[in-house]
């Protein structure tokens, strides 16, 4: 196979140079030239690919592709129901979070039904074998390959014909067509493109392990996330044994789905009731703690919001959030002052979501305000209350999606009273749960006085 020609393209102006320079000769930008492999043309003068034909959209079959279970219900939930032939899935996460453990468990579970190839570029086969023995997952029919050259991986995959293939990790794989080092922008982009083409042509489900930067984003070019079908983030606190798999992009299912796992000495174990791990068990009611029902994808989930309000010695008080949006806290404090008559211009306000989960929906507005007010007045809310609702700048309480489903989840966990927006009041009474519907912030505050 002839070696492909390479060129260097400027990210700023798109100029092309035959070799790398520190400065672009076209626009003068510094350190903007990146290595790129030229596409191979056929003898007929066109691109060396399969000729496509024009079809009417109404005549295209809309039948969904069959799914195969990965053997893990939580992972199937995040993927949208299971594995799809030809899908390329990118899994990112911090070092040591358990990415390799999760995919090895998945590969072992699937290997009993589908031929599986595990390509390791960071560890030796002996290290992977020792991890597999610790998992105690039973039948292990996984084929393992220690290789980092992309062309060699694809040649072996074409001869082995696996239905599921794991690449651990994409940053260690390199293409011989490029001169740059493994893990560079050009190498990650080119190797991913070759693996995507192989997956689509052979109907192989490909898992890619991706590294993350210190900011928490996937390392490599941003185009990497556009090339794959599904992007998963593996999250978790280093001091906690719980792990969360979150779907950021999914062409075959819903995004923002959550899968919850617990790290044990025998690998990752599914958590079927995640609400239980996000609720603290206080011996007595404490101020600044409110339970809310959030919704991640198709799953309602109970989480605990905590707030701490303390007199500030600074000229500009601090507003600190963990798991919540900081700017929204500042806005809600302004609404509380304007429509609730509570001033906190000289108070430091800290807000936290218990368990390390992130809440991005607006349904956390009302419980956050009540938690702040509870800490400010040092008056705990009853432990059997649950709250959710969005707060507008005019002081109105706006509804959130799937309100009745959230209420049923709260009733299932033994909560007795719920403060919700007026539009989320259920049409039929929910057994064991008293629902208080409010339309204004002042009405919600009066329920607690």
* Contact assessment for residue 6 and residue 177, using Cβ atoms and an 8 Å cutoff: yes
Which residues are CB-neighbours of 51 under 8 A, at least 6 positions away? none
Instruction: Decide: residue 363, CB within 10 A, 0-12 exposed, 13-18 middle, 19+ buried.
Output: buried
Question: Could you tell me which of 372, 394, 387 has the C-alpha nearest to residue 308?
Answer: 372
pLDDT for residue 41: 44
Please indicate whether residue 10 or residue 406 has the higher confidence score (pLDDT). 406
CA of 30: how far to CAs of 36, 107, 222, 231, in Å? 18, 44, 20, 31
* Contact assessment for residue 275 and residue 258, using Cβ atoms and an 8 Å cutoff: no
pLDDT for residue 354: 86
**Measured distance CA(20)–CA(22) in Å, rounded:** 7
Which of the residue ranges 136-150, 260-274, 319-333 has the most confident prediction, judged by mean pLDDT?
319-333
- b/e map of 12-22 (b: 16 or more CB within 10 Å)? eeebeeeeeee
Which residues are CB-neighbours of 273 under 8 A, at least 6 positions away? none
Is pLDDT above 90 for 241?
Answer: no
Distance of CA 2 to the CA centre of its chain: 40
Range with the lowest mean pLDDT among 63-77, 384-398, 424-438?
Answer: 63-77
Is pLDDT above 60 for 46?
Answer: no
Range with the lowest mean pLDDT among 89-103, 208-222, 315-329, 421-435?
Answer: 208-222
**Measured distance CA(353)–CA(341) in Å, rounded:** 26
pLDDT for residue 44: 40
Longest dimension (CA), the chain: 82
Name the β-bridge partners of 362: none
User: What confidence category does residue 256 fall into, taking pLDDT thresholds of 50, 70 and 90?
Assistant: confident
* Cβ atoms < 10 Å from Cβ of 431: 7
User: What confidence category does residue 50 fall into, taking pLDDT thresholds of 50, 70 and 90?
Assistant: low
CA of 280: how far to CAs of 46, 273, 361, in Å? 64, 14, 21
Please indicate whether residue 297 or residue 32 has the higher confidence score (pLDDT). 32
* Contact assessment for residue 305 and residue 367, using Cβ atoms and an 8 Å cutoff: yes
Question: Could you tell me which of 219, 214, 218, 213 has the C-alpha nearest to residue 232?
Answer: 218
Is pLDDT above 80 for 5?
Answer: no
pLDDT for residue 278: 72
Query: Whole-model pTM above 0.85?
Result: no
Please indicate whether residue 31 or residue 371 has the higher confidence score (pLDDT). 371
Express each pLDDT in 359-372 by its tens digit. 888 999 999 999 99
**Measured distance CA(33)–CA(344) in Å, rounded:** 51
User: What confidence category does residue 238 fall into, taking pLDDT thresholds of 50, 70 and 90?
Assistant: low
> Residue 346 has what DSSP assignment?
T
Express each pLDDT in 74-102 by its tens digit. 899 899 889 999 999 999 988 888 899 99
- b/e map of 95-114 (b: 16 or more CB within 10 Å)? eebbbbbbbbbbbbbbbeeb
Q: What percent of the chain shows pLDDT beyond 70?
A: 92
* Cβ atoms < 10 Å from Cβ of 204: 23
**Measured distance CA(256)–CA(250) in Å, rounded:** 9
Tokens standing for residue 169: 């990790």
pLDDT for residue 42: 43
Is pLDDT above 80 for 448?
Answer: no
CA of 310: how far to CAs of 307, 316, 350, 373, in Å? 10, 13, 9, 11
pLDDT for residue 95: 85
User: What confidence category does residue 2 fall into, taking pLDDT thresholds of 50, 70 and 90?
Assistant: low
Please indicate whether residue 295 or residue 197 has the higher confidence score (pLDDT). 197
User: What confidence category does residue 48 fall into, taking pLDDT thresholds of 50, 70 and 90?
Assistant: very low
pLDDT for residue 47: 38
Is pLDDT above 90 for 255?
Answer: no
Q: What percent of the chain shows pLDDT beyond 90?
A: 50
**Measured distance CA(167)–CA(173) in Å, rounded:** 8
Express each pLDDT in 116-169 by its tens digit. 999 999 899 999 998 888 887 766 789 999 999 999 999 999 999 999 999 998
Tokens standing for residue 303: 């989480």
Is pLDDT above 90 for 284?
Answer: no
pLDDT for residue 174: 93
Name residue, tokens 């290789």. Answer: 147
**Measured distance CA(100)–CA(113) in Å, rounded:** 21
Is pLDDT above 50 for 225?
Answer: yes
Average pLDDT, rounded, for the chain = 87
């Amino acid at each position: 196979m002839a070696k492909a020609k390479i060129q260097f393209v400027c990210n700023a102006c798109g100029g092309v140079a035959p070799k790398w320079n520190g400065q672009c000769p076209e626009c003068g930008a510094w350190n903007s030239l990146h290595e790129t492999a030229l596409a191979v043309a056929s003898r007929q003068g066109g691109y060396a690919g399969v000729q496509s034909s024009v079809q009417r959209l109404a005549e295209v079959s809309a039948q969904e592709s069959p799914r195969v279970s990965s053997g893990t219900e939580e992972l199937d939930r995040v993927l949208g129901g299971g594995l799809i032939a030809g899908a390329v899935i990118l899994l990112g996460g911090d070092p040591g979070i358990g990415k390799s453990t999760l995919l090895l468990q998945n590969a072992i579970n699937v290997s009993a039904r589908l031929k599986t190839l595990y390509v390791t570029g960071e560890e030796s086969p002996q290290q992977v074998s020792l991890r597999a023995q610790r998992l105690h997952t039973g039948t292990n029919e996984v084929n393992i390959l220690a290789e980092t050259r992309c062309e060699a991986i694809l040649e072996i995959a074409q001869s082995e014909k696996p239905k599921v293939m794991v690449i651990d990790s994409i940053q260690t794989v390199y293409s011989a067509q490029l001169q740059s080092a493994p893990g560079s922008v050009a190498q990650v982009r080119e190797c991913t493109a070759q693996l995507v083409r192989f997956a689509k042509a052979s109907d192989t489900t490909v898992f890619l392990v991706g590294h993350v930067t210190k900011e928490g984003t996937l390392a490599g070019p941003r185009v990497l996330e556009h090339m794959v079908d599904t992007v998963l983030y593996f999250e978790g606190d280093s001091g906690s044994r719980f792990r969360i798999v979150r779907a950021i992009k999914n062409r075959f299912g819903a995004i923002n789905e959550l899968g919850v796992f617990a790290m044990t000495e025998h690998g990752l174990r599914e958590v079927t009731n995640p609400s239980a791990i996000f609720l603290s068990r206080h011996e007595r009611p404490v101020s600044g703690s409110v339970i809310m029902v959030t919704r991640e994808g198709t799953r309602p989930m109970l989480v605990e919001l905590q707030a701490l309000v303390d007199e500030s010695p600074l000229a500009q008080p601090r507003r600190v959030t963990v798991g919540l949006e900081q700017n929204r806290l500042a806005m809600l404090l302004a609404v509380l002052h304007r429509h609730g008559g509570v001033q906190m211009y000289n108070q430091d306000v800290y807000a936290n979501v218990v368990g390390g989960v992130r809440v991005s929906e607006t349904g956390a507005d009302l419980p956050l305000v009540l938690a702040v007010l509870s800490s400010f007045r040092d008056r705990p809310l009853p432990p059997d209350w649950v709250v959710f609702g969005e707060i507008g700048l005019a002081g109105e309480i706006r509804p959130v999606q799937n309100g009745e489903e959230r209420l049923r989840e709260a009733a299932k966990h033994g909560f007795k009273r719920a403060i919700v927006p007026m539009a989320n009041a259920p049409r039929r009474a929910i057994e064991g749960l008293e629902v208080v519907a409010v339309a204004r912030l002042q009405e919600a505050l009066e329920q607690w006085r």
